């Protein structure tokens, strides 16, 4: 088999055109840096200083002593995201490497929970905005691949990989602290440990242990299904010490995992085809290839994930 290597090279971004991140600035004045590097800036989700010194009972970030406003009751997968899904139902599996079949569909109204204070909930909202942008972008790409139009126009889009990573971490917390996440019918929040400090570091400092963060994979030979559904499965340690390690999320046909606890089995993840922090996703159909660029801090090596549309 001949592999066309050029196919896997990201197209150049024109510095003089509108930035493909969805902003209204030219690329050179926005995400495009010197030497062609690309980084989308998303504002910090740490609440504005000074810290309040209060810990709200029931807020899962209460240990940071920076709560205010009482408990908020909001969808922890925000409505900005849910409204992008035309079938807003959520499927939840037990543990992702178990065979499917233990899947449960829950309505979106069961995704509200009293798990954050008002101050933390609003501080985290830029993550939902970026997740909404990500979903709209991927839907536009899917629509373009579907179209019978003869246009070969290539779409190039930029999404902050860091914000997507943080958003999935937030979803993982929502599932856990609302006690929805379960394994063999038992709620994992009852007897599994989650590392508070790791969650706060990931959300507020974007500091992750090595081999932790956003993973993505292509399920080989698998048709992209459930474009409008979101499916989530907690990942737990299969050891006597029960730990909540991460989450797998399938959303609009893409498979992600966010691993926040370093005690996971990195070798198994690699064997299952998971790749840490992809920089590019190319969507290829016969006449067209569209590019989704995920941006990361400097130093993340280029990793292209190629999704081929099956006939
Ligand atoms: Zn930009
Ligand atoms: Zn709080």
Q: What does the pLDDT look like over 251-269, one tens digit per residue?
A: 877 889 999 999 888 888 8
How far is the centre of ligand 1, averaged over its atoms, from the C-alpha of 241 (Å)?
A: 44
Q: Are 235 and 246 in contact (CB under 8 A)?
A: yes
Q: Give residue 110's pLDDT.
A: 63
How far is the centre of ligand 1, averaged over its atoms, from the C-alpha of 294 (Å)?
A: 12
How far is the centre of ligand 1, averaged over its atoms, from the C-alpha of 41 (Å)?
A: 8
Reply yes or no on whether the pLDDT at 155 is more than 60.
Answer: yes
Question: CA triplet 205, 170, 213: central angle to 5 degrees?
Answer: 60
Q: Are 142 and 154 in contact (CB under 8 A)?
A: no
How far is the centre of ligand 2, averaged over its atoms, from the C-alpha of 98 (Å)?
A: 34
What one-character-per-residue DSSP string does 13-78 give? PPTTSBPTTS-SSBGGGTTB-GGG-B-------SPPSSP-----TT-TTGGGS---SSEEEEESS-
Q: Report d(CA 299, CA 10) in Å as an integer.
A: 17
Interaxial angle between packed helices 161-177 and 125-146, expressed in degrees from 0 to 180 and rounded to the nearest 10: 110
Q: Is the peptide bond before 120 cis (omega within 30 degrees of 0)?
A: no
H or E element, residue 261: none
How far is the centre of ligand 1, averaged over its atoms, from the C-alpha of 204 (Å)?
A: 22
Q: Give residue 101's pLDDT.
A: 54
How far is the centre of ligand 2, averaged over its atoms, from the C-alpha of 70 (Å)?
A: 8
Rounded mean pLDDT of 107-124?
Answer: 83
Q: Name the closest ligand to CA 55.
A: 2
Q: Which residue has the higher pLDDT, 19 or 85?
A: 19
How far is the centre of ligand 1, averaged over its atoms, from the C-alpha of 28 (Å)?
A: 8
Q: pLDDT for 194-241, tens place per residue?
A: 989 999 999 999 889 999 999 998 755 444 455 556 777 888 887 788
Q: Name the closest ligand to CA 24.
A: 1
Rounded mean pLDDT of 49-62?
Answer: 96
Instruction: Please report which confidence band the pLDDT of residue 153 belongs to, taking 50, 70 and 90 as the band edges.
Output: confident
Name the least confident of 46-50, 149-153, 292-296.
149-153
| Distance from chain centroid for Cα 17 | 27
Q: Name the closest ligand to CA 159.
A: 1
Q: pLDDT for 87-109, tens place per residue?
A: 556 665 544 444 445 566 666 66
CB-proximal residues (5 Å) to ion ligand 2: 56, 59, 61, 67, 117, 120
Q: Give residue 185's pLDDT.
A: 66
How far is the centre of ligand 1, averaged over its atoms, from the C-alpha of 25 (Å)?
A: 7
How far is the centre of ligand 1, averaged over its atoms, from the C-alpha of 170 (Å)?
A: 24
Q: Report d(CA 170, CA 5) in Å as an integer.
A: 36
How far is the centre of ligand 1, averaged over its atoms, from the C-alpha of 205 (Å)?
A: 22
| Distance from chain centroid for Cα 209 | 17
Q: Report d(CA 306, CA 84) in Å as an integer.
A: 24
How far is the centre of ligand 2, averaged over its atoms, from the C-alpha of 56 (Å)?
A: 6
First to last CA, the chain: 19
How far is the centre of ligand 2, averaged over its atoms, from the C-alpha of 15 (Å)?
A: 41
Rounded mean pLDDT of 8-15?
Answer: 90
Q: Give residue 295's pLDDT.
A: 97
Q: Give residue 302's pLDDT.
A: 92
Phi, psi of 131 (to 5 degrees): -65, -40
Q: Quick one: which of 96, 141, 107, 119 has its CA closest to 233?
A: 96
Q: Give residue 105's pLDDT.
A: 64
Exposure string for 231-249, b = 16+ CB within 10 A, e = fewer: bbbbbbbeeeeebbbbbbb
How far is the centre of ligand 1, averaged over its atoms, from the C-alpha of 77 (Å)?
A: 25
How far is the centre of ligand 1, averaged over its atoms, from the C-alpha of 203 (Å)?
A: 22
Reply yes or no on whether the pLDDT at 284 is more than 60.
Answer: yes
How far is the centre of ligand 1, averaged over its atoms, from the C-alpha of 59 (Å)?
A: 33
Q: Name the closest ligand to CA 121.
A: 2
Name the least confident of 61-70, 132-141, 223-232.
223-232
Percent residues over pLDDT 90 in the chain: 45
Rounded mean pLDDT of 19-41?
Answer: 94
From the CB of residue 134, how many other CB atoms can be counted at a distance below 10 Å?
A: 25
92: left (phi over 0), alpha (psi -120 to 50) or beta: beta
Instruction: Please report which confidence band the pLDDT of residue 308 belongs to, taking 50, 70 and 90 as the band edges.
Output: confident
Q: Give residue 98's pLDDT.
A: 42
Dihedral sign (CA 93, 85, 259, 199): negative
């Amino acid at each position: 088999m001949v592999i066309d290597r050029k196919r896997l090279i990201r197209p150049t971004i024109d510095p003089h055109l509108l930035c493909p991140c969805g902003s209204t600035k030219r690329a050179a004045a926005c995400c495009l840096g010197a030497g062609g590097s690309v980084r989308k800036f998303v504002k910090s989700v740490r609440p504005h200083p000074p810290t309040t010194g209060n810990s709200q009972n029931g807020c899962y970030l209460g240990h940071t002593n920076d709560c205010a406003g009482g408990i908020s009751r909001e969808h922890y997968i925000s409505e900005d995201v849910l409204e992008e899904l035309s079938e807003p139902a959520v499927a939840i599996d037990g543990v992702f490497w178990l065979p499917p079949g233990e899947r449960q569909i829950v309505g979106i109204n069961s995704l509200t929970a009293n798990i954050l204070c008002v101050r933390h909930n609003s501080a985290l909202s830029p993550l939902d905005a970026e997740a909404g942008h990500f979903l709209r972008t991927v839907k536009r790409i899917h629509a373009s691949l579907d179209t019978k139009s003869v246009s070969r126009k290539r779409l190039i889009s930029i999404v902050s990989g860091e914000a997507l990573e943080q958003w999935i971490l937030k979803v993982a917390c929502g599932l856990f602290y609302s006690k929805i996440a379960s394994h063999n019918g038992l709620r994992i929040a009852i007897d599994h440990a989650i590392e508070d400090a790791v969650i706060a570091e990931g959300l507020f400092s974007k500091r992750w242990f090595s081999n932790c963060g956003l993973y993505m994979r292509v399920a080989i030979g698998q048709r992209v299904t459930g474009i409008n559904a979101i499916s989530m499965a907690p990942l737990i340690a299969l050891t006597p010490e029960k730990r909540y390690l991460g989450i797998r999320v399938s959303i609009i046909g893409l498979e992600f995992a966010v691993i926040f606890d370093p005690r996971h089995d990195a070798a198994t993840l690699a064997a299952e085809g998971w790749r840490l922090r992809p920089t590019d996703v190319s969507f290829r159909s016969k006449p067209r290839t569209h590019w989704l660029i995920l941006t990361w801090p400097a130093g993340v090596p280029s990793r292209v994930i190629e999704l081929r549309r099956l006939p």
